[in-house]
Structure 1
Amino acid sequence: MNSKLSKKLLVGAAAFAASVILLGTTACSSSSSGGGETGGGSGGSDAEIKIGLITKTDSNPFFVKMRESAQDAADANGAELIALAGEFDGDNEGQVAAIENLVSQGVQGIMITPNSSSGILAAIKQARDQGIVVVALDTATEPEDAVDATFATDNFAAGVAQGSWVKASLDGGEPQILMLDGTPGGTVDTFRHDGFLEGFGLEDGSPEILGMEDTNGDQTKAQTAMENLLQRAPQANALYTINEPAAAGGYAAILSAGLEDQISVGSIDGSCTGVENVKKGVIGATVMQFPTKMAEQGVEAIVAYAEDGTKPKAGFNDTGSVLITDNPVEGLDSEDTTWGAENCWG
């Protein structure tokens, strides 16, 4: 750990008793308040079971929903949730410090959405060596067995669904593809990118790919990236996006360039906002994920381990995904935005 992070942890030490930790970001504890009771026992600082949650950031709507769902699940099980996050998408160093922080607080289990699927491995091993069960949510580690279990979307399959729909939406036209990727080093980014190309029947280096930019899944960065891509490739007719914030940023650039009727946009997330954007035509189709399921299954696995030593089901546990569009294509299963609005991020 570098000296800057050490200083941040020292500053935050006085707040540990309240489980409110500032770790180079606005990440906060989500432990139950002393005034509320839960069905399985008392939450808050008196809970016998402490569970850590470390998300990539604390601002992305997907991780906000995951944190809220984890808190609800912890409350229902009489456990205390301590929620931390990286300062930005890709902040591996901050997540390493967060693991060390949680270990020092005596958690029985840690749930993590790794910013770096390989860079976080040493910190995870140190936690597991001390008897702490560690599960990955949303993003698998590399290798996958570096954690006790993974609860996540099959991101390759989600990418295939996105690519298949975008290809079909071109009605046989020659694809001229732009790609707004996420953050290098994460399995989610790799699987979705590769899956999208699989859905198109292409591979990296294919001449149909006119340009690619990393966005860290951030809307503002995606808009800037798309503006740059369109300057180089104004003839583009298809856009891959790593997530819905990136899709919103990409669409803003498309709209500014007057190309909204030319470019077909696909995405992955399935937030209520994203479903509404599909309904409005901002996104042609999105693949819905279920962060609530990820969080609930992660909490339940750690509670079971804390209560009787039962380890979670090892390996990858698929929490499902559904293609959402109001323009279905033959041979590709999907639901419309009415269904999507009723089920978004359930």
Structure 2
Amino acid sequence: MKNRTSTTARLGSLASIALVASVGLAACSSGSGGGGSTDSTSAGDVGVTLIVKTTTNPFFVAMEDGAKAAAEKAGVNLTLAAGKEDGDEDTQIQAIENAISKGDKGILITPNGPSVVDAIQKARDAGLYVIALDTPPDPADAVDITFATNNFAAGESIGTWTAAQLNGKKATIALLDLFDDKVVSVDYNRDQGFLTGMGIDTADDQKNGDEAATGSYSGGEYEIVGNEATNGAEDGGRTAMETLLSKNSDINVVYTINEPAAYGAYQALQAAGKEKDVLLVSIDGGCAGVKNVEEGIIGATAQQYPVKMAELGVEAIAKLATDGTAPETTKGLDFFDTGSALVTDTPVDGLDSITSADASKICWGE
């Protein structure tokens, strides 16, 4: 999920989206889901199941809220399901099976890993329309369409910002990724986008950790201390940061897969007395993360819009059910780009960004 045009062009504005469904179905209320559980309503003629990675991350809670609002508006019978934790594929597979059994029209899913692909194919074979949100599966065409941030471009924006802030200083880099036991595109696209924005040769841009450990970035010399998995969680970020600091206490650049991991990393840096010496960057743009930018904890983040992803997904399946119109990808991409924006209070000339004050008004795309 990459777009090799310039970062500035890609980040100039949020995606312009016109996928509003006009659906004359009976009104309904939507269920609320918790980790590893499902909830459904009884009203409505069109069934849609939203399956998120976990409800311990506010990103996915916001996604559920967006889906519930869209389902109520469209008269869709919405079921919510979630993994017990990031990477929990078994619970997601069971939720897919349940959607097939209920005769749902479609599924919205943020895949927790490659094992869900066979279950997705089973759903499509049964006639369900499957939309990936935020995280495309591998292969990408395992679903009918993906609604997501351009994760490579989001990573590239924070990498470009970081290189500019260093102003020629050596970059001693810690990379706090998502997994080390499975490969998902959101993980390598963000990581490799960040390194590309830094001006570092990524070797295989669909693989984390195979770039040269030392070399040159766009402003000077770099050293990569290592890649550590965080599982996208605060405690994982803290442990990963502690591990890398034990290898090299001179780290001055920390990339994180998301803002919960970033805050965990900050706690480890703070405990080591290093928090003022490091450029900490991330991707999410949630309300807590934007506040971290305002407070100077995170230097820059790339804001995504999960509410928009979920709303558009529900609307697309409702429209498909009523008039047969399927959603289309963004021109020039193999997915529907729901937009992103670089958030920082230390802007860089020539790099489009918004302030934390502006970002706080639209966190999660609400």
Structure 1 length as normaliser, TM-score? 0.87
Contact in 1 for aligned 2:38/2:95 (Cα 8 Å):
no
Distance 1:19 1:275, change over 3 A: closer
Alignment-mate amino acid for residue 337 of structure 1: S
Map Cα deviations across residues 279-333 of structure 1 (whole Å, 9 max, x no partner): 0000000000011110111001110112122222254000000000000012211
What residue in structure 1 maps to residue 199 of structure 2? 201
Map Cα deviations across residues 193-231 of structure 1 (whole Å, 9 max, x no partner): 110110111132332111210001000111011111111
Alignment-mate amino acid for residue 144 of structure 2: D
Distance 1:81 1:196, change over 3 A: same
What residue in structure 2 maps to residue 247 of structure 1? 262
CA distance in 2, matches of 1:313, 1:103: 24
Distance 1:87 1:66, change over 3 A: same
Aligned with residue 131 of structure 2, among 128, 131, 135: 135
Alignment-mate amino acid for residue 206 of structure 1: A
CA distance in 2, matches of 1:46, 1:27: 20
Instruction: State the Cα RMSD in Å.
Output: 1.6
Q: Is 1:86 the counterpart of 2:83 in the alignment?
A: yes
CA distance in 2, matches of 1:309, 1:243: 36
Map Cα deviations across residues 133-181 of structure 1 (whole Å, 9 max, x no partner): 0000000122212111110000000010111111211121011000110
Contact in 2 for aligned 1:124/1:134 (Cα 8 Å):
yes
Any unmatched runs of 5+ in structure 1? Answer: 1-17, 32-43
Q: Is 1:317 the counterpart of 2:336 in the alignment?
A: yes
Identity %: 48
Match runs of 1:228-243 below 5 Å: 228-243=243-258
Alignment-mate amino acid for residue 236 of structure 1: I
What residue in structure 2 maps to residue 14 of structure 1? none
Contact in 2 for aligned 1:162/1:196 (Cα 8 Å):
yes
Match runs of 1:220-235 below 5 Å: 220-235=235-250
What residue in structure 2 maps to residue 66 of structure 1? 63
CA distance in 2, matches of 1:140, 1:238: 28
SS of corresponding position for 1:239: strand
Residue 95 of structure 1 deviates from its aligned partner by 1.2
Alignment-mate amino acid for residue 188 of structure 1: V
Higher relative contact order (CA 8 A, sep 6+): 2
CA distance in 1, matches of 2:283, 2:120: 28
Any unmatched runs of 5+ in structure 2? Answer: 1-29, 203-210, 215-222
CA distance in 2, matches of 1:64, 1:145: 26
Match runs of 1:85-104 below 5 Å: 85-104=82-101
Aligned with residue 273 of structure 2, among 228, 236, 258: 258
What residue in structure 2 maps to residue 38 of structure 1? none
Structure 2 length as normaliser, TM-score? 0.83
What residue in structure 1 maps to residue 226 of structure 2? 211
Residue 19 of structure 1 deviates from its aligned partner by 6.9
Number of aligned residues: 313
Q: Is 1:122 the counterpart of 2:94 in the alignment?
A: no
Alignment-mate amino acid for residue 195 of structure 1: G
Distance 1:19 1:255, change over 3 A: closer
CA distance in 1, matches of 2:356, 2:83: 32
Structure with the larger helix share: 1
